Amino acid sequence: MSASVGRRIQSVIDRLRGKERRVDPADAWGMSARAARKAVHPQGALEVIFYAHKGRIAHKWHHYLEIYERHFEPLRQRGTPVRVLELGVSRGGSLDIWRKYFGPDARIVGIDVDPACAERVDPENAVIIGDQSDAGVLAAAIERLGGGVDLVIDDGSHLGRHQVASFEYLYPRISERGIYVCEDLHCSYWESHEGGYRRPGTFIEFSKGLIDQLHAWYLDDGLQATSMDFATTTYGIFVYLDVIVIEKRPIEKPFHVRIGE
Residues designated catalytic: 158
Interatomic CA distance for residues 110 and 127, integer angstroms = 5
Q: Is the dihedral of CA 202, 46, 171, 124 positive or negative?
A: positive
Other CB atoms closer than 10 Å to residue 104's CB: what's the count?
10
Long-range contacts of 101-105 (CB under 8 A, 24+ apart): 101/45, 101/46, 101/49, 101/72, 101/76, 102/75, 102/76, 103/1, 103/76, 104/1, 104/2, 105/81
Cβ pair 110, 126 in contact under 8 A: yes
